[in-house]
Copies of this chain bind each other. A is one copy, B any other.
């Protein structure tokens, strides 16, 4: 058993997505949806130079995920899968990861687009998106093979409430 780790959110997402039901399940389905990140004032200096990047990686806390399951049935499948083989929010540590488009930065407010985060989502970290860090070799997709196109349009229901 490991010791606990304590993080403090650095800001909050203001998004037009207010409910889990009907939310895009990934940024691909949130194409064109705009939102903002309101960074806490004390971290504003850390945004310097970020505006040169077209995309950012957001790490955030799934604030509505109050428990976890080791097996979940993903939106794009009809069989239970190990939670670590899915992106479902009911994870032991409910940390979400999305790559979004950075439209602009005004002071401590980031304007972002192609968003799948709920309003009120707590932001843990912001990193520049660097395509060179992705694998260049062939990628296998396991149970998701042939189903990933569904990310473009499938919407969430309430199964992970």
Contact = CB atoms under 8 A, between A and B. Distances in A.
A48 B2 contact: no
A8 B5 contact: yes
A45 B70 CA distance: 6
Chain A residues touching B, range: 35 or more
B52 A140 contact: yes
Contacts of A45: 70-71, 82
Which of A87, A114, A135 has the most C-beta atoms of chain B within 10 angstroms of its own C-beta?
A135
Nearest to A138: B54
Contact of A87 (B10, B99, B128): B128
Interface of A: 1-10, 12, 26-28, 40, 43, 45-55, 57, 59, 61, 70-71, 81-87, 91-93, 95, 97, 99, 101, 114, 122, 124-135, 137-145, 148-149, 151
